[in-house]
């Protein structure tokens, strides 16, 4: 089904071997251990005074294979003790701000703080720009482990020449596809981290003074952001090997989750978010602008191949704790092709649980979504559970056809929607380019969906995004149960807005119980076998 091998609980070595990568990152741990609290650095481990310059100096001394180390149970206060904001800092990221630890053109560096805390208190973005703890560029086989990030920020940027990046860890390569993989941030690993990053205006803000064509430059609060060279078209110039695992986002965190871009052989494993929100703001009014897909896992594939996301748990902020609109969970997992004509592909997404706790009456729209995808190629989504603790206006699984790609094949297995999901369990939006009627999701196989509650659109709702064609060649749904027993306005069990009789909806061995409406196939050919309908009779037609 996919080029990615499924290895539950695999170590880096096992995963790398499965992807034909080196068994272990080359040279990691072969150098010296640099203790940031020891002479001559003497970073304060109590958190009572700034440790920024000491850690910066210790990091500057690192050579290939070294370990930047801190004793367990330490606390390090990170601030901005440098001189006035410079648009040239840090190196290779002009206008973005400063990083305490900059690993540039070095190899196999490890940052291991043994579970210690890195703390920032109300860093003023407007006065001092961005502030990151660690920044990597042209740094293969590096790792960050064992840190609790407790960081808060205020203010925002209003200048077009700046793009304020704040938060934990960033790996960044961008060379137009002209640099060998071996010199990029390939083999990058981040693990056993926890985050509580907070900004009063959410994860990012939109400005009226865009940086080039990008107006999301008010502020960005990043947890782990690994961005490969998105222009690279061949494997020998792509970032290869990204492994983010055992990461927790704590109550009160409202920054980004784990965000990966353009890595071949990428893996996200065992990531938990305890109270998610997708909120962002529009400056300078600081008014809530909307919601974005900012859950615990966000990935843009571009031309890369090989993606596995496994063991993700996310809960939205409970309705009682929401202070405004757009504060729902916008995807425990959000994966995006990144390109209109994506040549990447191959993904497995499995063992996902999204707990949605919104209300249809909440302030403004809710954007509660469990899993969303615009990936091309063969995609397997398995074992997804959507729990809705109240009458949540939500979508369990959102699949969106990618413009111009004729190669999207989805296999969706064991989707469960329990409690009261006041929206589709699975929603498919297809055909976003009216001038290009190439089939954007070619085939869809759904095995054992279970829906107890959903909205009037139906449990499985497939439409053409308002265009004149639909574009799914064949949909097969088998072994499902659709009862609608917890729905306020139950609709069709399956609402397939097929546009032509050349499209086929095949439904087998499903149970459709009252008060759910019958299966609707639109103009498509409907094939039923072995179904049990409202009246208890089998369906054969």
DSSP E strand boundaries for 202-324: 204-206, 219-227, 239-249, 258-261, 263-276, 279-282, 287-291, 297-300, 305-316
> Which pLDDT belongs to residue 349?
84
The DSSP annotation for 440-497 comes to SS-EEEEES-EES---TT-SEEEE-TTSS-----EEEEES-EE--TT-SS--BSEEEE
How far is Cα 419 from Cα 409, in angstroms, rounded to an integer?
Answer: 29
At 161 the pLDDT is: 86
Handedness of CA 464, 422, 336, 411 (dihedral sign): negative
Q: What are phi and psi of 388, to 5 degrees?
A: -115, 115
Instruction: Report yes or no: 381 and 37 within 8 Å, Cβ to Cβ.
Output: no
Q: What is the pLDDT of residue 115?
A: 96
Q: What angle do CA 157, 247, 410 make, to 5 degrees?
A: 95
Which pairing describes strands 219-227 and 204-206: parallel, antiparallel, or unpaired? antiparallel
Q: Exposed e or buried b for every residue in 111-143, given b needs 16+ CB within 10 A?
A: bbbebbbbbbeebebeebbbbbbbbbbbbbbbb
Helix (H, G, I), strand (E, B) or coil at 60: helix
Contacts of 225 (CB under 8 A, 6+ apart): 167, 169, 170, 171, 172, 256, 259, 261
Q: How far apart are CA 133 and CA 106, in angstroms?
A: 17
In sign, the C-alpha dihedral spanning 210, 212, 213, 217 is negative
Find where tokens 């107890």 sit.
452
Q: Is the dihedral of CA 376, 369, 254, 85 positive or negative?
A: positive
pLDDT at 259: 95
The reported pLDDT for the residue numbered 328 is: 66
The pLDDT assigned to 431 comes to 53
Rounded CA gap, 456 and 461, in Å?
A: 10
Q: Output the six-digit token pair for 304.
A: 């890369």
Q: Which residue has the tokens 């995609």?
A: 379
Residues of the chain below pLDDT 70:
1-26, 83-94, 278-293, 319, 322-330, 339-345, 357-368, 376-378, 388-394, 401-423, 430-442, 452-458, 463-473, 484-490, 498-499, 535-541
Helix (H, G, I), strand (E, B) or coil at 170: strand
Q: What burial letters (b/e) apply to 292-323, b meaning 16+ CB within 10 Å?
A: bbbbbbbbbbbbbbbbbbbbbbbbbbebeebe
Query: What's phi and psi for 53, nearest 5 deg?
Result: -65, -35
- The pLDDT score that the predictor gives to residue 20 is 45
Contact between residue 195 and residue 253 where contact means Cβ atoms under 8 Å apart: yes
| Token couple for 190 | 């981040």
Distant-in-sequence, close-in-space partners of 344: CB < 8 Å, separation ≥ 6: 301, 302, 303, 304, 305, 337, 338, 375, 376, 377
Would you give the DSSP letter of residue 339? S
CA dist 221 → 153, 211, 299 (Å): 8, 17, 16
CB 394 within 8 Å of CB 363: no
- pLDDT, one tens digit per residue, over 6-61 is 333 344 444 444 444 444 566 787 899 999 999 999 999 999 999 999 999 999 99
Cβ-count burial of 282 within 10 angstroms (0-12 exposed, 13-18 middle, 19+ buried)?
A: middle
Measured CA distances, 84 to 231, 237, 413 (Å): 34, 37, 54
Alpha carbon distance 296, 256 (integer Å): 7
């Amino acid at each position: 089904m996919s080029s990615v091998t499924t290895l539950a609980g695999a170590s880096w070595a096992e995963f790398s071997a499965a992807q034909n990568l080196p068994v272990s990152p080359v040279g990691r741990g072969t150098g010296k251990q640099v203790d940031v609290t020891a002479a001559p650095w003497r970073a304060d481990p109590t958190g009572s005074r700034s440790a920024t310059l000491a850690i910066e100096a210790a990091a500057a001394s690192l050579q290939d294979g070294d370990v930047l180390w801190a004793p367990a149970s330490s606390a390090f206060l990170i601030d901005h003790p440098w001189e006035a904001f410079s648009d040239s800092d840090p190196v290779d990221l002009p206008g973005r701000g400063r990083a305490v630890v900059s690993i540039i053109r070095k190899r196999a560096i490890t940052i291991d703080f043994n579970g210690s805390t890195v703390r920032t208190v109300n860093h003023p973005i407007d006065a001092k720009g961005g502030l990151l703890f660690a920044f990597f560029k042209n740094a293969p086989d590096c790792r960050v482990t064992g840190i609790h990030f407790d960081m808060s920020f205020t203010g925002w940027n209003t200048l077009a020449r700046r793009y304020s990046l704040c938060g934990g860890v960033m790996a960044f390569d961008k060379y137009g596809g002209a640099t060998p993989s071996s010199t990029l941030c390939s083999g990058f690993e981040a693990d056993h981290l926890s985050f509580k990053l907070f900004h009063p205006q959410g994860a990012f803000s939109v400005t009226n003074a865009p940086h080039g064509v990008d107006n999301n430059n008010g502020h960005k609060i990043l947890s782990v952001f690994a961005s490969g060279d998105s222009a690279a078209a061949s494997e020998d110039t792509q970032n290869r090997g990204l492994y983010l695992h055992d990461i927790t986002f704590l109550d009160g965190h409202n920054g980004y989750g784990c965000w990966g871009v353009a890595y071949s052989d990428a893996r996200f494993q065992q990531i938990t978010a305890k109270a998610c929100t997708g909120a962002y703001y529009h400056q300078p009014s600081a008014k809530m602008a909307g919601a974005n897909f900012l859950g615990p896992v966000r990935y843009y594939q571009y031309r890369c191949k090989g993606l596995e996301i496994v063991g993700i748990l996310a809960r939205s902020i409970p309705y009682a704790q929401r202070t405004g609109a757009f504060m729902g969970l916008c995807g425990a997992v959000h994966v995006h092709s990144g390109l209109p004509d994506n040549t990447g592909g191959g993904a497995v997404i499995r063992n996902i649980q999204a707990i949605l706790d919104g209300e249809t009456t909440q302030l403004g729209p809710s954007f509660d979504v469990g899993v969303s995808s615009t990936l091309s190629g063969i995609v397997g989504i398995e074992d997804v559970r959507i729990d809705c603790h109240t009458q949540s206006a939500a979508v369990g699984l959102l699949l969106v056809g990618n413009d111009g790609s004729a190669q999207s094949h989805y296999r969706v297995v064991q989707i469960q929607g329990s409690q009261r999901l006041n929206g589709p369990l699975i929603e498919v939006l297809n055909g976003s380019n009216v001038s290009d009627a190439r089939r954007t999701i070619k085939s869809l196989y759904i095995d054992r969906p279970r829906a107890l509650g959903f909205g009037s659109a139906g449990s499985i709702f497939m439409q053409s995004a308002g265009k004149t064609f639909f574009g799914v060649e064949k949909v097969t749904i088998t072994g499902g149960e659709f009862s609608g027993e917890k729905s306020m306005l139950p609709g069709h069990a399956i609402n397939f807005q097929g546009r032509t009789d050349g499209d086929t909806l095949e439904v087998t061995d499903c149970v459709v119980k009252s008060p759910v409406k019958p299966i609707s196939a639109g103009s498509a050919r409907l094939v039923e076998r072995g179904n049990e309908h409202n009246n208890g009779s089998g369906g054969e037609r």
